[in-house]
Chain A
Amino acid sequence: MDNKYETIIGLEVHTQLDTKSKIFCSCSTEFGSEPNTNTCPVCLGLPGTLPVLNKKAVDYLIITGLALNCEIAFYSKFDRKNYFYPDLPKAYQISQFDLPLAKNGYIKVETEEGIHRIGITRIHLEEDAGKLIHEGSIDQSSGSLVDYNRTGVPLAEIVSEPDIRTPEQAREYLNYLKKTLEYLKVSDCNMEEGSLRCDANISLRLHGNKKFGTKVELKNMNSFKAIEKALAYEQKRQRKMLENDKKIVQETRTWDENKSKTISMRGKEEANDYRYFPEPDLVPLEIDEKWKKDIEERLPELPAVKRKRFIDEYNLPEYDADVITDSRDLADLFENSVSEYKDAKVVSNWIMGEFLRLINEEKTAIEDTKITGQLLAKMLKMIDQDIISSKIAKTVFEEMFYTGKDPEEIVKEKGLKQISDQGELESLVEKIIDENPSVIDDIKNGKDKAVGYLVGQVMKETKGKANPQMVNKMFKEKIK
């Protein structure tokens, strides 16, 4: 875009780890429970209580670190981050300061400008805070209500290096992270429910300058789209200011969707002195080689690798590979089906077409559907064997989607078997010919396409069960 200034972006992503219980106590992490029903003396910060670390949260963080090419710390510990805000009943957050569980990772993202490497500074484990509901707007309310259900839900904080140069790269970085976390099944990454949150730092500097410009922090954006738009807006705003010799103020801003601009969040001037110190209520962590190896073995094939393999191994077009590897469940469905039905493109068409159509219509999660790769493969074979037409197959597919029944059974139950009986079809074809003399004339005068209309009439009569190829052939023979 502009050659004079270079944009520097760094992202900080918080993602809730999908454990059943909280990080330091046995309360449920379930979203949407009645206020304060998932709390106990530990997460309420009552005096005399002690935290005990949830092992699964550590496992999830390690696997995330490995997937993002990080070094896993051999020795790690927790620290107290002290600040006063009523979302934290203890007046401190248990986090990690100088010895995070994972550091020095990277990912590679692809945008129109090519492949770009983005470093990951660190990933650390910490506890989430509670939720505040303000009466009226935050600066005018007389008080706030606090729900501590979210307090103590495990969070991974993933901090990028200031390696991102464009809003598009930021979006791709986030997409990559989200997809990876979903593949690892460590987080559901639901932004609406707040299980994935992102803050961004953005500054501009003259090309060639080593020193960073004054940065602005962008917070509270609730979608990747909003983050990308906020960054693009901020890039423009800062450039305009610099071009007019105005000073950038270091501040926190947020994206106002209605006004399509970033606005300053006038909060209290914070003293950024968290006085971190080692958490005395927890013991240190030592991740030995064996632990690391055990987790390494559980690493699934990651999206980018899978995408490439699908293209190489199954000859899928890039577009199909993109869509199908977008989710691990979708990719599994595809591969399970392809292992029993060899034409990968046909499988991919059914998954991208009918399957995703139903998923979008029903707004269900892929893992909650009843259909399996085996069932899909079996159905596709039935089409090849002329047992069902591809039109009827859509009905069969829908039934499998909702019930998980065997396609053979569905065909039998609903009487959907394709009519391929020569005699039966012939009498139908003759009937349609008798009923449509003008169409027959058209065809005889060279309007070949009208045959399709006649075939359609037979399909209508048989509710889609006639073998269309056979019917087509019969018409052509009879109307010569």
Chain B
Amino acid sequence: MINEEEVRYIADLASLKLSEKEVEMFSKQLSDIVDYVEKLDELDTEDIVPTAYTIPVKNVFREDKVKESLSLEKVLKNAPEKQADQFRVPKIIEED
């Protein structure tokens, strides 16, 4: 069960602004999803190590070699705002 307070907390962490109606809707939807996944608890996993990866691949590396970076023009091409060859972002400290 994901209650409405938890939905608001999660939304806050994800920087999402939800209406009261959405909070109610997501509370129900997220609860349904979690309930569904909880079915897995029925399995006995006592002797199974936690699995983070499902493919049997390990130790993939690159050598420590420098290659050319992107041109500055391309780097900044999609920047909503730029200044002095840098990305300009809005004020960081929040108002409230």
Say whether B59 contacts A278, CB under 8 Å: no
Say whether B72 contacts A36, CB under 8 Å: yes
Residue of B nearest to A130 (CB): B87
Separation of A77 and B65 alpha carbons in the complex (Å): 23
Say whether B66 contacts A20, CB under 8 Å: yes
Inside 8 A of B76's CB, which chain A residues have their CB?
36
* Interface positions of A from 95 to 148, Cβ below 8 Å from B: 132-134, 138-139, 141-148
Q: Does A35 count as interface, using CB distance less than 8 angstroms?
A: yes
Say whether B91 contacts A142, CB under 8 Å: yes
Q: Does A34 count as interface, using CB distance less than 8 angstroms?
A: yes
Separation of A34 and B73 alpha carbons in the complex (Å): 13
Say whether A138 contacts B61, CB under 8 Å: no
Looking at the assembled complex, report how far the CB atom of B65 sits from the nearest CB atom of chain A, in whole angstroms. Answer: 6
B interface: dominant SS = loop
Inside 8 A of A27's CB, which chain B residues have their CB?
66-67, 69
Say whether A284 contacts B58, CB under 8 Å: yes
Which of B9, B64, B92 is in CB contact (< 8 Å) with A132?
Answer: B92
Inside 8 A of B85's CB, which chain A residues have their CB?
34-36
Inside 8 A of B92's CB, which chain A residues have their CB?
85-86, 132, 134, 138, 141, 144
Which of A26, A58, A85, A148 is in CB contact (< 8 Å) with B67?
Answer: A26
Q: Does A238 count as interface, using CB distance less than 8 angstroms?
A: no
Q: Does A44 count as interface, using CB distance less than 8 angstroms?
A: yes
Inside 8 A of B93's CB, which chain A residues have their CB?
138-139, 267-268
Say whether B60 contacts A21, CB under 8 Å: no
Which of B57, B63, B75, B94 is in CB contact (< 8 Å) with A36?
Answer: B75
Inside 8 A of B75's CB, which chain A residues have their CB?
36-37, 39, 44, 148
Which of B12, B15, B58, B89 is in CB contact (< 8 Å) with A86?
Answer: B89
Looking at the assembled complex, report how far the CB atom of B50 sits from the nearest CB atom of chain A, in whole angstroms. Answer: 9
Q: Does B70 count as interface, using CB distance less than 8 angstroms?
A: yes
Q: Does B36 count as interface, using CB distance less than 8 angstroms?
A: no
Inside 8 A of A133's CB, which chain B residues have their CB?
86
Identify which of A3-11, A48-56, A324-332 touches chain B.
A48-56
Say whether A52 contacts B72, CB under 8 Å: no
Chain A: how many interface residues by the 8 Å CB criterion? Answer: 51
Residue of B nearest to A85 (CB): B92
* Interface positions of A from 251 to 299, Cβ below 8 Å from B: 267-268, 271, 273, 275, 278, 282-286
Say whether B94 contacts A145, CB under 8 Å: no
Known: A52-B60, A145-B87, A148-B87. A41 touches B66 (CB 8 A): no
Say whether A37 contacts B69, CB under 8 Å: yes
Say whether B66 contacts A28, CB under 8 Å: yes
Known: A267-B93, A283-B53. A53 touches B64 (CB 8 A): no
Known: A26-B62, A54-B62. A283 touches B70 (CB 8 A): no
Inside 8 A of A138's CB, which chain B residues have their CB?
92-93
Q: What is the 8 Å Cβ interface bit string for chain A, positions 52-87, against chain B (1 contact, 0 not)?
A: 111111100000000000000000010000101110
Q: Point out residues on B near A: beta carbons under 8 Å.
A: 9, 12-13, 15, 52-53, 55, 57-67, 69-70, 72, 75-76, 81, 83-94
- 9 other contacts beyond A21-B64, A21-B65, A37-B72, with CB at 8 A cut-off? A36-B76, A44-B75, A52-B61, A56-B63, A82-B13, A133-B86, A141-B92, A283-B55, A286-B58
16 sample A-B contacts, Cβ–Cβ < 8 Å, listed by A number: A21-B66, A26-B65, A26-B66, A27-B69, A28-B66, A52-B62, A53-B60, A86-B92, A133-B86, A134-B92, A142-B90, A143-B88, A143-B89, A144-B91, A268-B93, A278-B52
The 4 A-B pairs of least Cβ separation, nearest first, read A26-B67, A278-B52, A55-B61, A56-B64
